[in-house]
Amino acid sequence: MSTHTAVVAWGRNGATFTDSRYSRAHEWVFDGGVRVLASASPHVVPPPMSRADAVDPEEAFVAAIASCHMLFFLWIAARRGFVVERYRDDASGVLGRDADDHQAMTEITLSPQVAFAGDRRPSLDEHQAMHHDAHEACFLARSLKTAVRCHPVDATGTT
């Protein structure tokens, strides 16, 4: 077992606050010292109370799932003897309503594009199986009630 931490820090900066016109911009600080400007999504809280140039929790949620999937995919590919040259995922998430009519991330779609190198390349079935196995191994995806879909595409556009 391991513990993972992040510091989330916000300040009122003189705003009245009780009128709900305070900034939602804040900062995430991770254990390695990385600082990330964060904010409520401008789709949820309109500017100027939010910042479009900051990472919002919904984007971070999608990125965390996509990153976890990628890291397990790379590990699986290496163990199976395939060399991955590049990996890019244009992941997306849908903020909608769940069965109880609460706002929720109702779907996440991963769209990984993988370029392989070397003489040994996976077949389409092997490529898809590695994504399936990565999804099964990704503990973040297994922690969700949200459906996580994966539509892998290799660097040439083949699915």
For the segment 5-28, what is each residue's pLDDT rounded down to a tens digit?
899 999 998 888 989 889 999 999
- Does one domain contain both 26 and 14? yes
> CATH number of the domain that 104 lies in?
3.30.300.20
In-domain check, residue 123: yes
- Does one domain contain both 64 and 39? no
- Does one domain contain both 61 and 128? yes
- Does one domain contain both 12 and 39? yes
pLDDT confidence of residue 154: 65
- Does one domain contain both 90 and 138? yes
- Does one domain contain both 93 and 27? no
For residue 157, the Cα-to-chain-centroid distance in whole angstroms is 22
pLDDT confidence of residue 90: 94
Q: State both tokens at 19.
A: 């009128």
pLDDT confidence of residue 25: 94
The C-alpha atoms of residue 148 and residue 19 are separated, in whole angstroms, by: 38
Phi-psi region of 81 (alpha: psi -120 to 50; beta: other; left: phi over 0): left
The C-alpha atoms of residue 67 and residue 91 are separated, in whole angstroms, by: 10
- Does one domain contain both 9 and 78? no
Q: Digits of tens for pLDDT over the chain (159 positions)?
A: 888 889 999 999 888 898 988 999 999 999 989 999 999 999 999 999 999 999 999 999 999 999 999 999 999 999 999 999 999 999 999 999 989 999 989 999 999 999 999 999 999 999 999 999 999 999 998 888 777 888 887 666 554
Q: State both tokens at 98.
A: 């769940």
- Does one domain contain both 34 and 77? no
For the chain, the domain total comes to 2
The residue range of the domain holding 134 is 57-154
The C-alpha atoms of residue 89 and residue 157 are separated, in whole angstroms, by: 13
Residue 75 neighbours by CB under 8 Å, 6+ apart: none
Residue of 140, 80, 73, 149 whose CA lies nearest to 109: 149
- Does one domain contain both 5 and 83? no
- Does one domain contain both 47 and 61? no
In-domain check, residue 159: no
∠ CA(66), CA(127), CA(122), 5° rounding? 135
Residue of 106, 84, 86, 87 whose CA lies nearest to 95: 106
